[in-house]
Structure 1
Amino acid sequence: MSVALDTRTDTRTAIAAPADRAVSTLTSTAVFVGRSIRHTLRNVEALTMAIVLPIMLMLLFTYVFGGAIDSGGDYVNYVVPGIILLCAGFGSSSTAVDVADDMSNGIVDRFRTMPLRANGVITGHVVASLARNLLATGVVIGVALLVGFRPTAGPAQWLGAIGMIALFILAITWLYAAIGLAARTAAAASGYGFALLFVPYLSSAFVPTDTMPGWLQWFADNQPITPVIETIRGLLFGTEIGDRAWWAVGWCLAITIGAYIWAAWLFRRKAGRR
């Protein structure tokens, strides 16, 4: 009888041991954030593209298209918020590929054998993408200032604009992370993510929505990116924002929460949860 009791005790101890050794969620997340940032720094081509692409787009829209759209030379002031969000979407799209690659190459199964919260790998990709895209945003603004961008915002308005940009990047990155989990392969994730990159073109990013056909204008006015762009413009140049700021924050929060819940469900379904 005592032998049987000892056996049951040993079994319960063995089962409980991994949980006792498991580190906190915060520590696990920090480990995975560091991993993703190191991968970003080692991927020189992707990091270079994240920096060079904003410069190329800024010069393209300012010097090639700008004269035809606004002959007065002020187009750079109009287009900068759109360039920022377009580059943020492009930079975040790699998150879908990275997540899909992790889910398909077996590394998550290995993480689950360690005293870590394996689902922190997704948060790690999101945080690293946020840092990378904020860096790209700084590059966009720096190049824009060199080519004539002249915002009238004060420190508080600049903080508000950067906060709005960061919230948008967080939302779109979580959406791409969920897409990466939903896709069967990294190539499929890349294809699904690429489709979202066209959405900024159907907004007020590059031309006023009132220049569009009626049916397209309705879509452009009521999709998530337009209020985000108009809020950033209003903060940087003091133009009328109205209720667009509330819509911008609401859309970003809704996308973030919805994508997070979707990603969590997909991760539990595919990889299980510690």
Structure 2
Amino acid sequence: MTDLVRARFPVVMGVLNVTPDSFSDGGRYADLRAAVGHGVRLRAEGADLIDVGGESTRPGADRVDAETETARVLPVIRELAAAGIPVSIDTSRARVAEAALAGGADVVNDVSGGLADPDMARVVRDAGCPWVLMHWRGHSRQMRDLAHYTDVVADVRAELGRRVDAALAAGVAAEKIIIDPGLGFAKTAAHNWELSARLPELLDLGFPLLFGASRKSYLGSLLAGPDGSPRPTSGREAATIATSLLAVAAGAWGVRVHDVRGTVDALAVWRATGSPRLVPGAPAVDRAAPAAAGPAGRAGAAEEGER
């Protein structure tokens, strides 16, 4: 898996939520056969990793206990790993991560960046596996109240830097660390757009960056209908692909998406045209424009974590 962390090609992480209440696909893959079948399909469509999660982080979601989370993800991880499919475990709990790694998972994707469970660093260090450190300020019930920044990019960069420093101090190898700006987690729509526009400043930390905008509500707000109703999750795929492609062109290591085939197709076009990169310092469009889309005032509301 070290080779995947160091991959020069964009890594596509396919989302597989085995929860009853995730914002986009909750309940669709709660059954073991359905979950494994979907993971196999995502892999066939081109996913490099299948990201299995057993706890929703949608706004207001109640936490489940570690036993329930483990019971949801472990059978799925075991079957996918047995089929030779690379798997990441989407959890903020060390106990769940440890069980998932023992069951065949290759990567820990931690939305809390190690803040929710101080024992996570030990688990990752001992396993020697890659660790995605996402920017995070609090659980689902708290995050909306925590979306306050002086400069969202500078603040997220500094806070991610502290999580990296803590991981390194705990003995996690630098080459195993991946960062994630945490779009939607204690962020408003305007914050999400600003982070997307200034990804190179986060890449200056010197670590691979995972970008996850897939189907999130700030895209639904951008694409709101004439009556101000946000575009449903099923109609956000084109926008997801666009944000993912722009992130890769800005230097992102990988993207986390629900629609793997569409993303892989778009990346094939990008590579066929010479893998063009966004040029730092080039004239930019008005970044306030996307935030103004949708119902009045919506852009200023805190967005959800949406997993």
TM norm structure 1: 0.27
Structure with the largest fraction of helix: 1
Structure with the largest fraction of strand: 2
TM norm structure 2: 0.25
Could you say which structure has the greater relative contact order, defined with CA pairs below 8 angstroms and 6 or more residues apart?
Answer: 1
Highest CA radius of gyration, 1 or 2? Answer: 1
